[in-house]
Amino acid sequence: MALYKLIRPLAFALDAETAHRAAVKALSFAPQLPMPAFPPILSQIVAGLRFASPVGLAAGFDKDAEVPDAMLRLGFGFVEIGTVTPKPQAGNPQPRLFRLKEDRAVINSMGFNSQGQAAALARLKRRRRIGIVGVNIGANKDSPDRIEDYAAGVRAMAPVADYLTINISSPNTPGLRQLQDEGALRSLLSAVQGARTEGGPPIFLKVAPDLGEHEPDQIVRIAIQHGMDAIIIANTTISRPPLLSKYRGEGGGLSGDPLKSLALGALRRFRAASGGAIPLIGVGGIATADDAWERIRAGASLVQLYSAMVYEGPGIARRIADGLVERLNRAGMSSIAEAVGSG
């Protein structure tokens, strides 16, 4: 944290996307750190995978699988790369990434900028399988058949992924969130189910926080019927809090502190809808051990973060993990799994 405080003013002097690219490039050349050893109390099995720590890196930081191992070595219990699309695409016009320092938030309208599945696949094939690395899959903006894009992504990326995430919740690809509607979701998940192979990785579904009253029940029901292994709640929001400091007129998804209460509320609704029948992963506005603990007690088996790292540095994952150990010990619990849904 002390080192990051020194370099953060330099990073913030650059526009947000340039700083992000510089960070990924620097990590790709950084010396290899040893893999962190987490206390056994943080270990649990979710969707058939053993997670050494419940604190993961959300998709969006390492879009093209350039530095997953570097992020694992910095203290994340798991890393999700992507979103990866079948074909390379540039994404939306720049500027498309904005820091809201006063709000400790980020707005992005990236639009699934991706080097394509082939590039990510080649990098992931070269890595030694250390730690858990998931692959977040999306559809190309100009695709004539987005459902087939997801099925193709499952077939292509399954051999190199510890888990796959079906991302239908980004607000930055026109019409993508319509795949959360009941009929479209059934068609999509049927195609995904058909693309799976026996012994392949578990598949998670990532949803938006901006859902109607009955949508969590509907999504949970369809996800379970089609064999999804977990639900990630939630992606960025298209809503704008009234006291947002600036950039409120920019399109795209808002993340960071202003998303916290909305994402927590969505998680609670999905927990109520599922009754623990499917694992949930909490994302959105998580910046402290208290935030992660609250999400876990509300029903999340795992948590992910990204925007908070912009303000706190990559050491945030290990600090949150250490904080969770303290809270488990105070609660007299012997495993993080005992805390899931205990609130």
Return the percent helix, strand and coil in the chain, to nearest 5: 40, 20, 40
Per annotation, catalytic residue among 53, 143, 169, 170: 170
pLDDT of residue 243: 84
307 is annotated as contributing to ligand binding: yes
Q: What average pLDDT values come out for the chain (343 residues) when binned by 10 residues?
A: 80 96 94 94 98 98 98 98 98 97 96 98 95 98 97 98 97 94 97 96 97 95 98 97 89 97 98 98 98 98 97 95 98 98 95
| Residue type at 294 in one-letter notation | E
φ/ψ (deg, to 5) at 224: -65, -40
Examine the residue annotation and report whether 170 is marked as an active-site residue of this protein. Answer: yes
Q: Is 110 annotated as a binding residue?
A: yes
The one-letter amino acid code at 266 reads: A
Calculate the CA 242 to chain-centre distance.
Answer: 26
Asked whether residue 140 is marked as a ligand-binding residue, the answer is no
**Longest CA span, the chain:** 54
Give 64-68's long-range contacts (Cβ < 8 A, gap of 24+). Answer: 64/114, 64/115, 64/119, 64/120, 64/123, 65/119, 65/120, 65/123, 65/124, 65/133, 65/135, 66/24, 66/27, 66/28, 66/123, 67/24, 67/27, 67/28, 68/124, 68/127, 68/131, 68/133
Residue type, 206: K
**Stated pTM of the model:** 0.97
Q: Is 150 exposed, middle or buried (0-12, 13-18, 19+ CB in 10 A)?
A: buried
Q: What DSSP character marks residue 336? A: H
Q: What residues are paired with 100 via a beta bridge? A: 105
CATH, range 2-339: 3.20.20.70
C-alpha distances in Å from residue 141, one per residue of 116, 125, 150, 182: 12, 26, 12, 21
Q: What is the pLDDT of residue 1?
A: 59
Return the closest-CA partner of residue 162 out of 192, 188, 199, 191: 199
Nearest residue to 47 (alpha-carbon basis) of 188, 231, 207: 231
288 is in an annotated binding site: no
Q: Residue 122: which residues within 8 A CB-CB, separation 6 or more?
A: none
pLDDT of residue 163: 98
- For the chain, the distance separating the N- and C-terminal CA atoms, rounded to the nearest angstrom, is 31
Please check if 76 is assigned to a binding site.
Answer: no
Element containing residue 264 per DSSP (H, E): helix 260-274
Per-residue pLDDT, 219: 98
Residues in a beta bridge with 165:
136, 204
Identity at 342, one-letter amino acid code? S
Full 3-state SS string of 49-114 = EEECCCEEECCCCCCCCCCHHHHHHCCCCEEEEEEECCCCECCCCCCCEEEEHHHCEEEECCCCCE
329: annotated binding-site residue? Answer: no
Q: Which strands form 253-256's sheet, in the order they lie side by side?
A: 97-100, 105-108, 253-256
- Provide CB contacts within 8 A for 175, sequence distance 6+: none
Q: Cα–Cα distance between 250 and 150 in angstroms, integer?
A: 28
Instruction: Tell me whether residue 113 is annotated as binding.
Output: no
| Sequence-distant (≥ 6) Cβ neighbours of residue 163 within 8 angstroms | 47, 49, 132, 134, 135, 201, 202, 203, 204, 229, 230
85 is in an annotated binding site: no
Name residue 314's amino acid.
P
Spatial distance between the Cα atoms of 58 and 52, rounded to a whole number of angstroms: 16
256 is in an annotated binding site: yes
Q: Which residue has the tokens 């808002």?
A: 254
